[in-house]
Protein backbone atom coordinates (compact mmCIF):
# COMPACT_ATOMS: atom_id res chain seq x y z
CA UNK A 1 0.00 0.00 0.00
CA UNK A 2 1.27 3.50 -0.83
CA UNK A 3 1.65 5.61 2.32
CA UNK A 4 0.50 9.20 2.25
CA UNK A 5 3.17 11.90 2.33
CA UNK A 6 3.31 13.28 5.87
CA UNK A 7 2.56 16.82 4.61
CA UNK A 8 -0.80 15.64 3.22
CA UNK A 9 -1.81 13.78 6.29
CA UNK A 10 -4.70 14.88 8.47
CA UNK A 11 -3.62 15.87 11.96
CA UNK A 12 -4.44 13.63 14.89
CA UNK A 13 -5.65 15.50 17.99
CA UNK A 14 -6.02 13.85 21.40
CA UNK A 15 -8.56 15.61 23.64
CA UNK A 16 -8.71 15.15 27.40
CA UNK A 17 -11.54 16.89 29.30
CA UNK A 18 -11.63 17.34 33.08
CA UNK A 19 -13.96 14.55 34.28
CA UNK A 20 -17.08 16.65 34.94
CA UNK A 21 -20.13 17.37 32.77
CA UNK A 22 -19.50 21.12 32.44
CA UNK A 23 -16.01 20.41 31.09
CA UNK A 24 -16.82 17.41 28.89
CA UNK A 25 -19.58 19.12 26.89
CA UNK A 26 -17.54 22.06 25.50
CA UNK A 27 -14.54 19.75 24.89
CA UNK A 28 -16.84 17.46 22.92
CA UNK A 29 -18.09 20.39 20.81
CA UNK A 30 -14.49 21.25 19.98
CA UNK A 31 -13.72 17.58 19.21
CA UNK A 32 -16.63 17.43 16.77
CA UNK A 33 -15.55 20.68 15.12
CA UNK A 34 -12.06 19.24 14.60
CA UNK A 35 -13.59 15.96 13.40
CA UNK A 36 -15.63 17.85 10.84
CA UNK A 37 -12.39 19.41 9.55
CA UNK A 38 -11.36 15.79 8.78
CA UNK A 39 -8.92 15.60 11.66
CA UNK A 40 -8.32 12.29 13.35
CA UNK A 41 -9.67 12.67 16.85
CA UNK A 42 -9.13 10.63 20.00
CA UNK A 43 -11.50 11.68 22.81
CA UNK A 44 -10.30 10.44 26.19
CA UNK A 45 -12.51 10.16 29.26
CA UNK A 46 -12.13 8.53 32.62
CA UNK A 47 -13.66 5.02 32.60
CA UNK A 48 -16.89 5.97 34.36
CA UNK A 49 -17.62 9.02 32.18
CA UNK A 50 -16.61 7.08 29.07
CA UNK A 51 -19.35 4.51 29.82
CA UNK A 52 -21.95 7.22 30.54
CA UNK A 53 -21.07 9.18 27.41
CA UNK A 54 -21.25 6.15 25.13
CA UNK A 55 -24.57 5.13 26.69
CA UNK A 56 -25.94 8.56 25.65
CA UNK A 57 -24.37 8.64 22.20
CA UNK A 58 -25.81 7.07 19.09
CA UNK A 59 -22.50 5.52 18.11
CA UNK A 60 -23.56 4.35 14.65
CA UNK A 61 -24.71 7.79 13.57
CA UNK A 62 -21.72 9.40 15.30
CA UNK A 63 -19.22 7.16 13.48
CA UNK A 64 -20.99 7.81 10.19
CA UNK A 65 -20.55 11.53 10.72
CA UNK A 66 -16.99 11.29 12.03
CA UNK A 67 -15.22 8.22 10.60
CA UNK A 68 -11.86 9.38 11.99
CA UNK A 69 -13.07 9.69 15.59
CA UNK A 70 -12.32 7.26 18.42
CA UNK A 71 -13.27 7.21 22.10
CA UNK A 72 -10.71 5.96 24.64
CA UNK A 73 -10.74 5.76 28.42
CA UNK A 74 -8.30 5.85 31.31
CA UNK A 75 -8.81 5.08 35.02
CA UNK A 76 -9.24 7.94 37.51
CA UNK A 77 -8.84 6.06 40.78
CA UNK A 78 -12.05 7.79 41.95
CA UNK A 79 -15.55 6.59 42.88
CA UNK A 80 -18.43 7.25 40.45
CA UNK A 81 -20.05 10.16 42.32
CA UNK A 82 -16.86 11.87 43.39
CA UNK A 83 -18.54 15.16 44.30
CA UNK A 84 -20.73 13.59 47.01
CA UNK A 85 -18.10 11.00 48.02
CA UNK A 86 -16.70 12.94 50.97
CA UNK A 87 -13.18 12.81 49.49
CA UNK A 88 -11.06 15.91 50.05
CA UNK A 89 -9.73 17.87 47.09
CA UNK A 90 -6.27 16.56 47.93
CA UNK A 91 -7.54 12.94 47.85
CA UNK A 92 -9.09 13.57 44.43
CA UNK A 93 -6.05 15.12 42.79
CA UNK A 94 -3.64 12.65 44.41
CA UNK A 95 -5.72 9.75 43.06
CA UNK A 96 -5.80 11.25 39.57
CA UNK A 97 -2.06 11.88 39.67
CA UNK A 98 -1.41 8.29 40.70
CA UNK A 99 -3.83 6.63 38.25
CA UNK A 100 -4.72 8.91 35.34
CA UNK A 101 -1.31 10.45 34.71
CA UNK A 102 0.59 7.20 33.97
CA UNK A 103 -2.44 5.84 32.09
CA UNK A 104 -2.58 8.96 29.90
CA UNK A 105 1.15 8.70 29.23
CA UNK A 106 0.77 5.03 28.23
CA UNK A 107 -2.15 5.92 25.99
CA UNK A 108 -0.17 8.65 24.21
CA UNK A 109 2.73 6.27 23.71
CA UNK A 110 0.44 3.60 22.24
CA UNK A 111 -1.21 6.20 19.99
CA UNK A 112 2.28 7.23 18.90
CA UNK A 113 2.72 3.87 17.23
CA UNK A 114 1.60 5.02 13.84
CA UNK A 115 -0.59 2.66 11.81
CA UNK A 116 -1.91 2.71 8.27
CA UNK A 117 -5.14 4.22 9.63
CA UNK A 118 -3.83 6.57 12.26
CA UNK A 119 -1.02 9.10 12.60
CA UNK A 120 0.92 9.66 15.81
CA UNK A 121 -0.69 12.48 17.86
CA UNK A 122 -0.07 15.93 16.40
CA UNK A 123 -1.08 17.68 19.63
CA UNK A 124 -3.01 17.25 22.85
CA UNK A 125 -5.87 19.56 23.77
CA UNK A 126 -6.48 19.13 27.50
CA UNK A 127 -8.55 20.95 30.05
CA UNK A 128 -6.59 23.85 31.53
CA UNK A 129 -6.98 22.47 35.05
CA UNK A 130 -5.39 19.17 34.07
CA UNK A 131 -1.91 20.60 33.64
CA UNK A 132 -0.82 18.48 36.61
CA UNK A 133 -1.53 15.40 34.45
CA UNK A 134 -0.61 16.57 30.99
CA UNK A 135 2.27 19.06 31.01
CA UNK A 136 5.14 16.75 32.01
CA UNK A 137 3.86 13.97 29.79
CA UNK A 138 3.43 16.12 26.70
CA UNK A 139 6.83 17.77 27.26
CA UNK A 140 8.51 14.36 27.71
CA UNK A 141 6.87 12.92 24.59
CA UNK A 142 7.35 16.19 22.69
CA UNK A 143 3.72 16.51 21.73
CA UNK A 144 2.49 20.14 21.81
CA UNK A 145 -0.13 20.82 24.47
CA UNK A 146 -2.97 23.31 24.02
CA UNK A 147 -5.12 24.17 27.05
CA UNK A 148 -8.89 24.55 26.77
CA UNK A 149 -10.15 26.49 29.78
CA UNK A 150 -13.88 25.84 29.99
CA UNK A 151 -14.50 28.64 32.47
CA UNK A 152 -14.51 32.18 31.16
CA UNK A 153 -11.59 34.57 30.62
CA UNK A 154 -12.51 36.72 33.64
CA UNK A 155 -12.15 33.76 35.97
CA UNK A 156 -8.61 32.94 34.77
CA UNK A 157 -7.64 36.61 34.89
CA UNK A 158 -8.78 36.85 38.52
CA UNK A 159 -6.76 33.73 39.43
CA UNK A 160 -3.56 35.34 38.15
CA UNK A 161 -4.05 38.04 40.79
CA UNK A 162 -4.93 35.88 43.78
CA UNK A 163 -1.34 35.31 44.99
CA UNK A 164 -0.96 39.08 45.48
CA UNK A 165 -4.34 39.37 47.22
CA UNK A 166 -3.30 36.53 49.57
CA UNK A 167 0.10 38.14 50.19
CA UNK A 168 -1.62 41.44 51.04
CA UNK A 169 -3.92 39.69 53.53
CA UNK A 170 -7.04 40.43 51.47
CA UNK A 171 -7.82 36.69 51.21
CA UNK A 172 -9.23 34.95 53.17
CA UNK A 173 -11.80 37.64 53.98
CA UNK A 174 -14.26 37.81 56.85
CA UNK A 175 -17.99 37.36 56.26
CA UNK A 176 -18.63 40.98 57.26
CA UNK A 177 -16.35 42.12 54.41
CA UNK A 178 -18.31 40.37 51.67
CA UNK A 179 -19.26 43.68 50.02
CA UNK A 180 -15.78 45.20 50.20
CA UNK A 181 -14.53 46.15 46.70
CA UNK A 182 -11.55 44.18 45.40
CA UNK A 183 -8.63 46.40 44.37
CA UNK A 184 -5.68 45.29 42.26
CA UNK A 185 -7.33 43.33 39.46
CA UNK A 186 -7.04 45.51 36.35
CA UNK A 187 -10.32 45.88 34.48
CA UNK A 188 -12.41 44.76 37.43
CA UNK A 189 -12.01 47.71 39.83
CA UNK A 190 -15.48 49.08 39.22
CA UNK A 191 -17.60 46.10 40.00
CA UNK A 192 -15.77 43.24 41.74
CA UNK A 193 -16.51 42.70 45.44
CA UNK A 194 -15.20 39.97 47.75
CA UNK A 195 -18.41 38.01 47.31
CA UNK A 196 -17.77 37.86 43.54
CA UNK A 197 -14.35 36.24 43.87
CA UNK A 198 -13.92 32.52 43.05
CA UNK A 199 -15.59 30.27 45.62
CA UNK A 200 -12.16 28.99 46.68
CA UNK A 201 -11.39 32.44 48.16
CA UNK A 202 -13.99 31.82 50.88
CA UNK A 203 -11.40 29.77 52.72
CA UNK A 204 -12.88 28.06 55.78
CA UNK A 205 -10.97 24.77 56.02
CA UNK A 206 -7.52 23.46 55.12
CA UNK A 207 -9.16 21.63 52.19
CA UNK A 208 -10.52 24.95 50.85
CA UNK A 209 -7.02 26.33 51.16
CA UNK A 210 -5.61 23.33 49.28
CA UNK A 211 -8.12 23.87 46.47
CA UNK A 212 -7.32 27.59 46.27
CA UNK A 213 -3.59 26.91 46.00
CA UNK A 214 -4.18 24.06 43.56
CA UNK A 215 -6.18 26.22 41.12
CA UNK A 216 -3.67 29.06 41.38
CA UNK A 217 -0.95 26.54 40.50
CA UNK A 218 -2.91 25.19 37.53
CA UNK A 219 -3.64 28.71 36.25
CA UNK A 220 0.06 29.59 36.16
CA UNK A 221 0.92 26.13 34.77
CA UNK A 222 -1.40 26.76 31.79
CA UNK A 223 1.01 29.42 30.58
CA UNK A 224 3.45 26.60 29.70
CA UNK A 225 0.98 25.30 27.10
CA UNK A 226 1.54 26.23 23.46
CA UNK A 227 -1.78 28.07 23.41
CA UNK A 228 -4.91 28.81 25.39
CA UNK A 229 -8.35 28.10 23.93
CA UNK A 230 -11.29 29.92 25.52
CA UNK A 231 -15.03 29.32 25.23
CA UNK A 232 -15.84 33.02 25.05
CA UNK A 233 -16.42 35.87 22.60
CA UNK A 234 -16.53 39.69 22.32
CA UNK A 235 -18.28 40.27 25.67
CA UNK A 236 -14.92 39.45 27.26
CA UNK A 237 -12.71 41.14 24.67
CA UNK A 238 -10.99 43.52 27.15
CA UNK A 239 -10.04 40.78 29.60
CA UNK A 240 -8.93 38.43 26.81
CA UNK A 241 -6.53 41.09 25.62
CA UNK A 242 -5.21 41.51 29.19
CA UNK A 243 -4.70 37.73 29.42
CA UNK A 244 -2.59 38.01 26.27
CA UNK A 245 0.32 39.09 28.50
CA UNK A 246 0.46 35.55 29.97
CA UNK A 247 0.02 33.39 26.86
CA UNK A 248 1.84 32.98 23.57
CA UNK A 249 -1.42 32.55 21.71
CA UNK A 250 -5.14 32.71 22.63
CA UNK A 251 -8.00 31.41 20.49
CA UNK A 252 -11.47 32.56 21.57
CA UNK A 253 -13.98 30.23 19.93
CA UNK A 254 -17.17 30.61 21.96
CA UNK A 255 -19.97 30.03 22.47
CA UNK A 256 -18.75 26.59 21.42
CA UNK A 257 -22.16 24.90 21.51
CA UNK A 258 -23.43 27.47 19.02
CA UNK A 259 -20.29 27.42 16.87
CA UNK A 260 -20.82 23.65 16.59
CA UNK A 261 -24.35 24.24 15.31
CA UNK A 262 -23.27 27.03 13.01
CA UNK A 263 -20.45 25.02 11.38
CA UNK A 264 -22.14 21.62 11.23
CA UNK A 265 -25.48 22.16 9.59
CA UNK A 266 -26.23 18.42 9.57
CA UNK A 267 -26.65 18.39 13.36
CA UNK A 268 -29.76 20.49 13.22
CA UNK A 269 -31.70 17.27 12.90
CA UNK A 270 -33.23 16.45 16.33
CA UNK A 271 -31.57 13.02 16.55
CA UNK A 272 -28.09 14.49 16.81
CA UNK A 273 -28.72 17.79 18.57
CA UNK A 274 -27.10 17.09 21.97
CA UNK A 275 -23.54 16.04 22.43
CA UNK A 276 -21.19 15.35 25.31
CA UNK A 277 -24.07 14.75 27.73
CA UNK A 278 -23.62 12.13 30.46
CA UNK A 279 -27.23 11.98 31.76
CA UNK A 280 -30.29 10.62 30.06
CA UNK A 281 -32.40 13.57 28.91
CA UNK A 282 -36.09 13.61 29.78
CA UNK A 283 -37.73 15.06 26.67
CA UNK A 284 -41.29 14.92 28.09
CA UNK A 285 -40.90 18.56 29.08
CA UNK A 286 -40.76 19.55 25.38
CA UNK A 287 -44.33 18.33 24.88
CA UNK A 288 -45.39 20.30 27.95
CA UNK A 289 -43.56 23.41 26.66
CA UNK A 290 -45.39 23.08 23.34
CA UNK A 291 -48.65 23.77 25.14
CA UNK A 292 -47.43 26.93 26.95
CA UNK A 293 -47.83 30.53 25.71
CA UNK A 294 -44.79 32.32 24.21
CA UNK A 295 -42.15 33.55 26.70
CA UNK A 296 -44.31 32.48 29.66
CA UNK A 297 -42.09 29.79 31.26
CA UNK A 298 -39.17 30.25 33.64
CA UNK A 299 -36.61 27.45 33.21
CA UNK A 300 -34.90 26.58 36.52
CA UNK A 301 -31.74 24.49 36.60
CA UNK A 302 -28.63 24.27 38.76
CA UNK A 303 -26.39 22.46 36.30
CA UNK A 304 -24.78 19.11 36.97
CA UNK A 305 -23.02 19.57 40.32
CA UNK A 306 -24.66 22.09 42.65
CA UNK A 307 -26.44 20.70 45.68
CA UNK A 308 -29.04 22.72 47.61
CA UNK A 309 -29.84 22.35 51.28
CA UNK A 310 -33.39 21.39 52.21
CA UNK A 311 -33.86 25.02 53.36
CA UNK A 312 -32.68 26.46 50.02
CA UNK A 313 -34.92 24.03 48.16
CA UNK A 314 -37.92 25.02 50.25
CA UNK A 315 -37.29 28.78 49.76
CA UNK A 316 -36.86 28.19 46.03
CA UNK A 317 -40.09 26.23 45.81
CA UNK A 318 -42.11 28.85 47.70
CA UNK A 319 -40.59 31.68 45.70
CA UNK A 320 -41.42 29.97 42.42
CA UNK A 321 -44.96 28.99 43.37
CA UNK A 322 -45.80 32.38 44.94
CA UNK A 323 -44.52 34.24 41.86
CA UNK A 324 -47.52 32.82 40.00
CA UNK A 325 -45.32 32.20 36.94
CA UNK A 326 -45.14 28.98 34.94
CA UNK A 327 -41.90 27.12 35.52
CA UNK A 328 -39.95 24.08 34.36
CA UNK A 329 -37.70 22.85 37.16
CA UNK A 330 -34.81 20.39 36.95
CA UNK A 331 -34.49 18.34 40.13
CA UNK A 332 -31.54 16.00 39.71
CA UNK A 333 -31.72 12.93 41.96
CA UNK A 334 -28.69 14.27 43.88
CA UNK A 335 -29.80 17.93 43.97
CA UNK A 336 -30.82 17.98 47.62
CA UNK A 337 -27.76 17.72 49.82
CA UNK A 338 -27.68 14.76 52.17
CA UNK A 339 -30.82 13.24 50.62
CA UNK A 340 -29.61 11.13 47.69
CA UNK A 341 -32.44 10.21 45.36
CA UNK A 342 -34.83 12.77 46.92
CA UNK A 343 -35.43 14.47 43.60
CA UNK A 344 -35.99 11.30 41.62
CA UNK A 345 -39.78 11.35 41.38
CA UNK A 346 -40.59 13.92 38.70
CA UNK A 347 -43.34 11.80 37.15
CA UNK A 348 -45.37 11.73 40.35
CA UNK A 349 -44.82 15.46 40.85
CA UNK A 350 -46.04 16.22 37.35
CA UNK A 351 -49.50 14.73 37.90
CA UNK A 352 -52.16 17.38 37.28
CA UNK A 353 -49.58 19.60 35.59
CA UNK A 354 -52.09 21.36 33.34
CA UNK A 355 -53.74 23.06 36.29
CA UNK A 356 -50.54 23.79 38.16
CA UNK A 357 -48.51 25.49 35.43
CA UNK A 358 -45.34 23.70 36.38
CA UNK A 359 -43.27 20.74 35.22
CA UNK A 360 -40.38 18.86 36.82
CA UNK A 361 -37.72 16.72 35.18
CA UNK A 362 -34.57 15.10 36.51
CA UNK A 363 -32.46 16.17 33.50
CA UNK A 364 -33.61 18.46 30.67
CA UNK A 365 -32.38 18.82 27.09
CA UNK A 366 -31.21 22.27 28.18
CA UNK A 367 -30.14 23.82 24.88
CA UNK A 368 -33.46 22.88 23.30
CA UNK A 369 -35.44 24.02 26.31
CA UNK A 370 -33.79 27.45 26.29
CA UNK A 371 -34.41 27.77 22.55
CA UNK A 372 -38.10 26.90 22.92
CA UNK A 373 -40.44 29.86 22.18
CA UNK A 374 -42.37 29.24 25.44
CA UNK A 375 -39.27 29.91 27.59
CA UNK A 376 -38.96 33.53 28.72
CA UNK A 377 -36.47 33.38 31.61
CA UNK A 378 -33.75 31.25 33.20
CA UNK A 379 -33.06 30.83 36.90
CA UNK A 380 -29.56 29.36 36.94
CA UNK A 381 -26.60 28.69 39.23
CA UNK A 382 -24.53 30.67 36.72
CA UNK A 383 -22.23 27.88 35.46
CA UNK A 384 -20.38 29.14 32.40
CA UNK A 385 -22.01 26.71 29.94
CA UNK A 386 -25.47 27.55 31.24
CA UNK A 387 -24.69 31.27 31.08
CA UNK A 388 -23.55 30.98 27.46
CA UNK A 389 -26.56 28.83 26.58
CA UNK A 390 -28.89 31.45 28.11
CA UNK A 391 -27.07 34.24 26.24
CA UNK A 392 -27.33 32.46 22.87
CA UNK A 393 -31.04 31.79 23.42
CA UNK A 394 -31.60 35.49 24.24
CA UNK A 395 -33.20 34.53 27.56
CA UNK A 396 -32.62 36.86 30.55
CA UNK A 397 -31.38 35.26 33.76
CA UNK A 398 -31.58 35.22 37.52
CA UNK A 399 -28.34 33.81 38.92
CA UNK A 400 -28.16 32.01 42.24
CA UNK A 401 -24.45 31.14 42.36
CA UNK A 402 -23.17 28.52 44.80
CA UNK A 403 -19.44 28.01 44.18
CA UNK A 404 -16.44 28.24 41.85
CA UNK A 405 -16.75 30.65 38.88
CA UNK A 406 -20.50 31.06 39.42
CA UNK A 407 -19.99 34.13 41.62
CA UNK A 408 -18.08 36.17 39.07
CA UNK A 409 -20.28 34.97 36.21
CA UNK A 410 -23.40 36.19 37.98
CA UNK A 411 -21.79 39.52 38.80
CA UNK A 412 -20.97 39.97 35.10
CA UNK A 413 -24.52 38.95 34.12
CA UNK A 414 -26.05 41.63 36.35
CA UNK A 415 -23.49 44.46 36.47
CA UNK A 416 -21.41 44.23 33.31
CA UNK A 417 -23.60 42.74 30.58
CA UNK A 418 -26.89 43.68 32.29
CA UNK A 419 -28.73 40.61 31.10
CA UNK A 420 -30.15 39.47 34.42
CA UNK A 421 -30.21 39.70 38.20
CA UNK A 422 -27.77 38.37 40.78
CA UNK A 423 -29.20 36.66 43.89
CA UNK A 424 -25.84 36.01 45.48
CA UNK A 425 -25.67 34.80 49.09
CA UNK A 426 -29.39 35.14 49.78
CA UNK A 427 -31.80 32.35 50.57
CA UNK A 428 -35.23 33.90 50.85
CA UNK A 429 -38.42 32.83 49.09
CA UNK A 430 -39.77 36.38 48.97
CA UNK A 431 -36.62 37.63 47.15
CA UNK A 432 -36.92 34.76 44.67
CA UNK A 433 -40.60 35.56 44.16
CA UNK A 434 -39.87 39.25 43.50
CA UNK A 435 -36.97 38.59 41.13
CA UNK A 436 -38.98 36.04 39.15
CA UNK A 437 -41.83 38.57 38.75
CA UNK A 438 -39.33 41.29 37.79
CA UNK A 439 -37.67 39.04 35.21
CA UNK A 440 -40.85 37.70 33.65
CA UNK A 441 -42.98 40.87 33.86
CA UNK A 442 -42.21 44.05 35.82
CA UNK A 443 -38.64 44.79 34.67
CA UNK A 444 -38.63 42.66 31.55
CA UNK A 445 -38.50 45.53 29.11
CA UNK A 446 -35.50 47.14 30.84
CA UNK A 447 -33.48 44.00 30.58
CA UNK A 448 -34.47 42.71 27.13
CA UNK A 449 -32.58 45.43 25.23
CA UNK A 450 -29.17 44.31 26.50
CA UNK A 451 -30.18 40.62 26.43
CA UNK A 452 -30.99 40.91 22.71
CA UNK A 453 -27.80 42.88 22.06
CA UNK A 454 -25.55 40.32 23.75
CA UNK A 455 -27.37 37.45 21.99
CA UNK A 456 -26.73 39.14 18.65
CA UNK A 457 -23.03 39.51 19.51
CA UNK A 458 -22.87 35.78 20.29
CA UNK A 459 -24.56 34.85 17.02
CA UNK A 460 -22.33 37.21 15.04
CA UNK A 461 -19.23 35.65 16.63
CA UNK A 462 -20.08 32.12 15.49
CA UNK A 463 -21.52 32.89 12.07
CA UNK A 464 -19.31 32.84 8.99
CA UNK A 465 -16.87 35.76 9.16
CA UNK A 466 -17.38 36.21 12.93
CA UNK A 467 -14.49 36.23 15.41
CA UNK A 468 -15.00 32.72 16.83
CA UNK A 469 -15.62 31.28 13.38
CA UNK A 470 -12.37 32.79 12.10
CA UNK A 471 -10.42 31.88 15.23
CA UNK A 472 -11.46 28.25 14.84
CA UNK A 473 -10.18 28.38 11.25
CA UNK A 474 -6.91 29.77 12.64
CA UNK A 475 -6.68 26.97 15.21
CA UNK A 476 -7.36 24.33 12.54
CA UNK A 477 -4.73 25.83 10.27
CA UNK A 478 -2.15 26.06 13.08
CA UNK A 479 -2.70 22.40 14.01
CA UNK A 480 -2.34 21.44 10.34
CA UNK A 481 1.01 23.25 10.34
CA UNK A 482 2.09 21.25 13.42
CA UNK A 483 1.40 18.03 11.49
CA UNK A 484 3.79 18.93 8.68
Smallest distance, Å, CB 186 to ligand UDP?
26
Torsion over CA: 73, 282, 26, 79 (sign): negative
Among 219, 366, 414, 471, the residue binding ligand UDP under the rule CB under 6 A is 366
Residue 384 near ligand UDP by CB under 6 A: yes
Query: Which residues, 22 to 41, sit near ligand UDP by CB under 6 A?
Result: 22, 25
Are 131 and 225 spatial neighbours (Cβ–Cβ below 8 Å)?
yes
Which CA distances in Å does 259 have to 308, 437, 465? 32, 33, 12
Query: Which residues, 230 to 249, sit near ligand UDP by CB under 6 A?
Result: none
Between 143 and 361, whose beta carbon lies closer to ligand UDP?
Answer: 361
- Residues 305-344, one symbol each (x = binds ligand UDP by CB under 6 A, - = not), give xx-----------------------x--------------
Are 199 and 406 spatial neighbours (Cβ–Cβ below 8 Å)?
yes
Among 301, 410, 414, 471, the residue binding ligand UDP under the rule CB under 6 A is 301
* Among the residue ranges 97-105, 177-185, 302-310, 393-401, the one whose residues contact ligand UDP (CB under 6 A): 302-310
Size of the site for ligand UDP (CB under 6 A): 19
Are 157 and 185 spatial neighbours (Cβ–Cβ below 8 Å)?
yes
Are 42 and 72 spatial neighbours (Cβ–Cβ below 8 Å)?
yes
Rounded to whole angstroms, how far apart are CA atoms 215 and 405?
A: 12
Residue 19 near ligand UDP by CB under 6 A: no
Residue 383 near ligand UDP by CB under 6 A: yes
Between 243 and 328, whose beta carbon lies closer to ligand UDP?
Answer: 328
Among 10, 21, 154, 194, the residue binding ligand UDP under the rule CB under 6 A is 21
Examine the residue annotation and report whether 94 is marked as an active-site residue of this protein: no
* DSSP symbol at 416: I
Options 48, 50, 127, 161, the catalytic residue? 127
**Residues 6+ positions from 360 with CB-CB distance below 8 Å:** 328, 329, 330, 331, 346, 349, 350
* Among the residue ranges 321-329, 360-368, 429-437, 445-453, the one whose residues contact ligand UDP (CB under 6 A): 360-368
Between 125 and 397, whose beta carbon lies closer to ligand UDP?
Answer: 397
- Cβ-count burial 90-123 (b if 16+ within 10 Å, e if not): ebbbebbeebbbebbbebbeebeeeeeeebebbb
Which CA distances in Å does 37 have to 193, 220, 360? 43, 31, 39
Helix residue ranges per DSSP H, 324-405: 346-349, 353-356, 366-371, 384-393
Among 28, 103, 148, 364, the residue binding ligand UDP under the rule CB under 6 A is 364
Whether the ω angle into residue 255 lies within 30 degrees of 0, i.e. cis, is yes
Examine the residue annotation and report whether 127 is marked as an active-site residue of this protein: yes
Active site residues: 23, 127
- Contacting positions for ligand UDP (CB under 6 A): 21-22, 25, 277, 301, 303-306, 330, 363-364, 366-367, 383-386, 389
Amino acid sequence: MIRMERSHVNPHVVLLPYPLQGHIKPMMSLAELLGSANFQVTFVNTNHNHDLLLRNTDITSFCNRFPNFQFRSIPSGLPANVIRSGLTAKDVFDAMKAMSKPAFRDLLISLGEETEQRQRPTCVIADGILCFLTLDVSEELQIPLLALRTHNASYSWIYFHLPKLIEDGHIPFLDENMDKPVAGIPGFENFLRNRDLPGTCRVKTSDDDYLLQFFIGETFAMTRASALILNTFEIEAPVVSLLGSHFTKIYTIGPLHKLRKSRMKDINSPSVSSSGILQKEDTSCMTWLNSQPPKSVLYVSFGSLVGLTREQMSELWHGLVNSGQRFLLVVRPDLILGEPGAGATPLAQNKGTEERNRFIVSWAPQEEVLAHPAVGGFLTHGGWNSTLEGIVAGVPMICWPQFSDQFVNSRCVSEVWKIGFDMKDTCDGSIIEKLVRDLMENKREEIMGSTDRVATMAHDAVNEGGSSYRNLDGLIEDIRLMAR
